[in-house]
Amino acid sequence: MSTARGLEGVVATTSSVSSIIDDVLTYQGYNIDDLAENASFEEVIFLLWNGRLPKQEELDQLTQDLADNMDVPQEIFDYMKAYPIDKVHPMAALRTAISQLALYDEEADDMSEEANKRKAIRIQAKIPAIVTGFSRIREGKEPVAPKKDLSFAANFLYMLKGETPDDISVTAFNKALVLHADHELNASTFTSRVCVATLSDVYSGITAAIGALKGPLHGGANERVMKMLTEIGDVDGVEPYLRKAFENKEKIMGFGHRVYKKGDPRAKHLREMSRQLTEITGETKWYEMSIKMEEIVVKEKGLPPNVDFYSASVYHSLGIDHDLFTPIFATSRTSGWLAHILEQYSDNRLIRPRAEYVGPEKQTYVPINER
């Protein structure tokens, strides 16, 4: 038996949802650069779930279906109010709430294709209300009910802040959602596929994926990037911080990638958004610090920034709490997880690899009082 540590380079499934070939990312064959500039997040959801871009009436139907399913059972918010709210990370709250949501879905264990598609709509539609509702509740406020005529991106910002967002924020947020929607067989997507390949239900698959995304080596890195930038404080602090981190062999959050070695194609979009948004807020230091970090980390370690690096200063500039960055990633990536879950069901086989045993052998059981 041969092992590939961390399954590096192992091709574990076929998929038509998204591809990374020669450092180019496509969703169903559409280059991410094209989608980032032109597509709404709703169009991307349709694309990922149906394998093609929607016609206008199909997009209208999906938008309507999402609007019809945005409301979250009051019980979910009531439970949140009972959480030890100042100690709960929003990713833990989201993981719990998605799992709870299954309890209120009569079709949760209906494994028919039609029911699974309906659940996909419900989960995608409700995630913004869950993430923003938790944020409001911990501020001592009531969740804001969705405004169903707003776009997915605008509605998220509206429910978060309780006021209609400006066009620049909506455009930036929509682009961030498009850029995070899917990414081949990343750790959380793989987790979701492993989970549902046992023929477990869609809610279990999404709950498992949220758990995997939460870690700092994956989606949790975006929050850590902002923590690092805040600790560094200003441009002059970047070089000493990095020298010390290199010396201590610390991982620099937001840099490196298992698949991209020349660079993450999503980073340039987020870099430009960071430049524009920090100019608008007047807090250009976050962009300037980020640029300086990129220069040094690329030169000294040969590691380019990944999607999590510039998304930190983008979300910060949109006035979003730092611990909501990863739940926002989850809000977008749910569309990709659901596409992969539906794809897995459509041609399922249990995912069960092997482990090479390296433990002790030929042991003899010793009764407890003789040990």
Closest residue to ligand ACO, based on beta-carbon distance: 256
Q: Which is nearer to ligand ACO, 59 or 296 (CB)?
A: 296
Residue 307 binds ligand OAA, judged by CB under 6 A: yes
Q: Which is nearer to ligand OAA, 266 or 316 (CB)?
A: 266
The nearest distance, CB 47 to ligand ACO, in angstroms, is: 20
Residue 296 binds ligand ACO, judged by CB under 6 A: no
Question: Helix/strand/coil (H, E, C) string of the chain?
Answer: CCCCHHHCCCCCCCCCCEEEECCEEEECCEEHHHHHHHCCHHHHHHHHHHCCCCCHHHHHHHHHHHHHCCCCCHHHHHHHHHCCHHHCCHHHHHHHHHHHHHHHCCCCCCCCHHHHHHHHHHHHHHHHHHHHHHHHHHCCCCCCCCCCCCCHHHHHHHHHHCCCCCHHHHHHHHHHHHHHCCCCCCHHHHHHHHHHCCCCCHHHHHHHHHHHHCCCCCCCHHHHHHHHHHHHCCHHHHHHHHHHHHHCCCCCCCECCCCCCCCCCCHHHHHHHHHHHHHHHCCCHHHHHHHHHHHHHHHHHCCCECHHHHHHHHHHHCCCCHHHHHHHHHHHHHHHHHHHHHHHHHCCCCCCCCCCCCCCCCCCCCCHHHC
Within a 10 A sphere around the Cβ of 4, how many other Cβ atoms?
8
Closest residue to ligand OAA, based on beta-carbon distance: 186
Residue 186 binds ligand OAA, judged by CB under 6 A: yes
User: 275 is in the binding site of which of ligand ACO, ligand OAA, none (Cβ under 5 to 8 A by kind)?
Assistant: none
The nearest distance, CB 256 to ligand ACO, in angstroms, is: 2
The nearest distance, CB 351 to ligand OAA, in angstroms, is: 17
User: Within positions 66 to 125, which residues make up the interface with ligand ACO, using CB under 6 A?
Assistant: none
Sequence letter at residue 267: A
Nearest to 55 by CA among 151, 63, 27: 63
Cα–Cα distance, 134 to 129 (Å, whole number): 8
Q: How many residues bind ligand ACO (CB under 6 A)?
A: 18
Residue 126 binds ligand OAA, judged by CB under 6 A: no
Cα–Cα distance, 71 to 125 (Å, whole number): 8
User: Within positions 192 to 221, which residues make up the interface with ligand ACO, using CB under 6 A?
Assistant: 217-219, 221
User: Which pair of tokens denotes residue 204?
Assistant: 């279990």
The nearest distance, CB 90 to ligand ACO, in angstroms, is: 17
Q: Which is nearer to ligand ACO, 254 or 336 (CB)?
A: 254
Q: Which of 95, 183, 193, 224 lies at the binding interface for ligand OAA (CB under 6 A)?
A: 183
The nearest distance, CB 105 to ligand ACO, in angstroms, is: 28
Q: Which is nearer to ligand ACO, 158 or 309 (CB)?
A: 309
Active-site residue (options: 180, 183, 308, 316): 308
Q: Which of 118, 161, 258, 292 lies at the binding interface for ligand OAA (CB under 6 A)?
A: 258
Cα–Cα distance, 267 to 229 (Å, whole number): 17
Residue 306 binds ligand OAA, judged by CB under 6 A: yes
User: 221 is in the binding site of which of ligand ACO, ligand OAA, none (Cβ under 5 to 8 A by kind)?
Assistant: ligand ACO
The nearest distance, CB 186 to ligand OAA, in angstroms, is: 3
Sequence letter at residue 228: M
Instruction: Confirm whether 308 is a catalytic residue.
Output: yes
User: Within positions 250 to 279, which residues make up the interface with ligand ACO, using CB under 6 A?
Assistant: 251-258
φ/ψ of 321, rounded to 5, equals -60, 140
Active-site residue (options: 180, 183, 218, 257): 257
CA 250 from chain centre, in angstroms, equals 24
Instruction: Confirm whether 182 is a catalytic residue.
Output: no
Residue 138 binds ligand ACO, judged by CB under 6 A: no
Q: Which of 88, 115, 291, 303 lies at the binding interface for ligand ACO (CB under 6 A)?
A: 303
The nearest distance, CB 240 to ligand OAA, in angstroms, is: 29
Binding interface with ligand OAA (CB under 6 A): 183, 186, 258-259, 306-307
Binding interface with ligand ACO (CB under 6 A): 6, 217-219, 221, 251-258, 301, 303, 306-308
| Catalytic annotation, residues | 257, 308
